[in-house]
Chains A and B, each alone.
Chain A
Amino acid sequence: EAQVTQNPRYLITVTGKKLTVTCSQNMNHEYMSWYRQDPGLGLRQIYYSMNVEVTDKGDVPEGYKVSRKEKRNFPLILESPSPNQTSLYFCASSLYGPNFGNQPQHFGDGTRLSIL
């Protein structure tokens, strides 16, 4: 089944303790991205990747890192999490980037992070 898989689905942790949220897709998609969703603010893009070893900042990249060493995986790293990073996070992928034709995004089910 074609899907985007995020782990963990839920995480409660403390300020400063490094964490990684994994994202994996099995559709051989080139484009992957991370969003955070906060009440009243909608979805905001954190980082995106056009292909392996190609990543770029989205609208709210501060406090986050990503890597794209393999096509299928796009982990989101919080080196020193802070309470303002408490949010619902989504990973998404598409065959190509939005500027290469018409590409619907496939979303994971989300990761709810609580940073105390």
Chain B
Amino acid sequence: SQQGEEDPQALSIQEGENATMNCSYKTSINNLQWYRQNSGRGLVHLILIRSNEREKHSGRLRVTLDTSKKSSSLLITASRAADTASYFCVPTGANSKLTFGKGITLSVRP
């Protein structure tokens, strides 16, 4: 299994600003998923991007994928205090193990 490496480890922004989170991985993938975890709660699936897609949108979320650089980014536009959470990227290849990294801690200040 492979693990996504999120960057930065922590991010603090003002409400209304955009938040950009990055993810890198090492081997080829079928798809890449992003999850959110509010403090002490279960993870919630946000968005999935397939390896043949370059960009995907869902509400205020925009995900990009660059397979040549083995990297992805998650952009949250017009952030809100409720976006405060940890965010995880999960690159998925041809095996049955999902590996989560340490995530990015996003703090959105009111």
Contacts and interface: CB of A to CB of B under 8 A. Distances in A.
A33 interface: yes
A42 B100 contact: yes
The bracket for how many chain A residues form the interface is 20 to 34
A13 interface: no
- Where chain A touches its partner, the secondary structure class is strand
B96 A108 contact: no
Interface stretch (B18-26, B35-43, B60-68, B69-77): B35-43
A97 B96 contact: yes
Given A35-B100, A43-B88, A43-B100, A98 B95 contact: yes
A65 interface: no
Nearest to B33: A104
A67 interface: no
B102 A42 contact: yes
A98 B93 CA distance: 8
B45 A104 contact: yes
Nearest to B103: A42
Given A90-B42, A102-B30, A45 B98 contact: yes
B50 A48 contact: no
Contact of A48 (B41, B43, B93, B97): B97
Contact of A107 (B1, B42, B48, B93): B42
8 contacts: A43-B43, A45-B99, A48-B97, A56-B96, A97-B96, A98-B30, A99-B30, A110-B42
